[in-house]
Chains A and B, each alone.
Chain A
Amino acid sequence: AQKITQTQPGMFVQEKEAVTLDCTYDTSDQSYGLFWYKQPSSGEMIFLIYQGSYDEQNATEGRYSLNFQKARKSANLVISASQLGDSAMYFCAMREGGSEKLVFGKGTKLTVNP
């Protein structure tokens, strides 16, 4: 079974609008971490945001917020006030308790239209 599922291969959003990128995960661990990374066309992987399984508050970092719904095992990324520079691939990843490796989803390609 897939550990991380990103069901949206591609998403489009108008500049200045908000967009939600979906991510669901599968784990039986109680302790785990969820991450979002951005990969622009230049290829580097940029860390955006982290949510721990025990964190009660949703993580926020500037225009990025993580909508963490533990019971539904979802960790959607919300980007507010989209900018043209947000156009990129976005990867959701999980680190399970007792392991240091990250397991990545297949990614969502976000295109911001002017």
Chain B
Amino acid sequence: NAGVMQNPRHLVRRRGQEARLRCSPMKGHSHVYWYRQLPEEGLKFMVYLQKENIIDESGMPKERFSAEFPKEGPSILRIQQVVRGDSAAYFCASSAAGELETQYFGPGTRLLVL
């Protein structure tokens, strides 16, 4: 059973470009979470989605960041007009309905903004 997949693993963008991070949850999981980890810090919650719905986006910056989890395909975290402060590791996690206790994490996408 494949784990949570994230791609790309590493992404380099110049200031002002767009970054698109993709996450495929574990098979059978319909809940997806995005977290951001700044250097030397713990993970910070960004957004929680179920298929086609944003359930909790309390951790998302108000501008430039958006997330979706369409009926078909992976979840996408989109960062428009990236700035250097967006450089971080972005982790996706997934859980199964009825087993929300445990979130399983993907390997993360390391975003570097030049």
CB within 8 Å of B: which residues of A? 4, 33, 35, 37, 43-47, 50, 52, 91, 93, 95, 99-107
Please determine whether B42 and A104 come into contact, CB atoms closer than 8 angstroms: yes
Q: Is the interface of A mostly helix, strand, loop or mixed?
A: strand
Shortest CB–CB separation between residue A2 and chain B, in angstroms? 10
Shortest CB–CB separation between residue B3 and chain A, in angstroms? 9
Task: Give which listed residue, B31, B104, B110, contacts A43 with CB less than 8 A.
Answer: B110
Of the listed stretches B14-22, B62-70, B72-80, B95-103, name the one at the interface; the rest are far from the partner chain. B95-103
**Distance in angstroms between the alpha carbons of A106 and B41 in the assembled complex:** 5
Shortest CB–CB separation between residue B56 and chain A, in angstroms? 6
Give the A-B pair count, Cβ closer than 8 A: 59
> Which B72-114 residues have C-beta < 8 A from chain A?
89, 91, 93, 95, 100-108, 110
Please determine whether B45 and A102 come into contact, CB atoms closer than 8 angstroms: yes
Q: A43-B89, A45-B105 are in contact. Are A100 and B44 (CB under 8 A)?
A: no
6 A-B residue pairs with Cβ-Cβ distance under 8 Å, sorted by A, are: A47-B105, A99-B56, A100-B48, A101-B45, A104-B43, A104-B44
**Distance in angstroms between the alpha carbons of A37 and B33 in the assembled complex:** 16
Please determine whether A100 and B43 come into contact, CB atoms closer than 8 angstroms: no
Residues of chain A lying within 8 A (CB to CB) of residue B101: 33, 50, 52, 95
**Distance in angstroms between the alpha carbons of A101 and B95 in the assembled complex:** 11
**Distance in angstroms between the alpha carbons of A104 and B107 in the assembled complex:** 17
Residues of chain A lying within 8 A (CB to CB) of residue B43: 45, 91, 93, 102, 104
Q: A47-B104, A47-B105 are in contact. Are A91 and B42 (CB under 8 A)?
A: yes
Shortest CB–CB separation between residue A67 and chain B, in angstroms? 19
Residues of chain A lying within 8 A (CB to CB) of residue B58: 101
- Please name the residue on chain A nearest to B110 by beta carbon: A43
Q: Does B61 touch A at the CB level, under 8 Å?
A: no
Shortest CB–CB separation between residue B95 and chain A, in angstroms? 8
